[in-house]
Amino acid sequence: MQEQQNEQTESRWQKIGQHGELLNFDALHWAAAVDKKTKLMWAINPSKTADFPNPNQELTWDEAKVWVDYVNTQGWCGFNNWRLPTMRKLKTLITKRRQPNFFIREDIFNDISDKYYRVLSSLPITYSDAWVVHFLGGSGHFSNKNAYCVRLVRSA
């Protein structure tokens, strides 16, 4: 069963290097990952303590929008069209089972350092609320635009 799950993961995900190059699935370091099913590229920090391109500190919704602009000036993986994901795109990352701490592939998203890992979406609901995905519980909900984690995405 574990072998089958590993094969499915390998066929669904493509690791991307610091300069946008394709890496083997068994690469030890990567800067992004493409979900072949959704055709989305997700930015990944080089380590749990790295603060770029996904900041380690939580940001408000307005701060997150400014952060995206900053990352795009730096050209992470050679691209300058990173953005905050929509709620629908964030939900594609939710797994059916905890992996082992969160409902997200921790073998791909190995840079998670927040113990709750709640991620802002690009979608505001009202002036003070936005959609958030809570990977500790594997669900999405709306919440105030206070500080949450940021996970950047782009179309692959």
CATH tag, 2-155: 3.10.100
Q: Mean pLDDT across the chain, nearest whole number?
A: 92
User: CA torsion, points 86, 92, 94, 95, in degrees to nearest 10?
Assistant: 180
Q: For residue 76, what is the DSSP state?
A: G
pLDDT band of 9, cuts 50, 70, 90: low
pLDDT at 91: 97
pLDDT band of 120, cuts 50, 70, 90: very high
Q: What is the pTM of this model?
A: 0.92
The 10s digit of each residue's pLDDT in 61-118 is 999 999 999 999 999 999 999 999 999 999 999 999 999 999 999 999 999 998 999 9
99 CB-contact burial (10 Å; exposed 0-12 / middle 13-18 / buried 19+): middle
CA distances from 45 to 42, 123, 145 (A): 10, 23, 23
Domain extent listing, the chain: 2-155
pLDDT at 1: 47
Judge whether residue 8 has pLDDT over 80. no
pLDDT at 52: 97
Of all residues in the chain, the percent with pLDDT exceeding 70 is 94
pLDDT at 4: 43
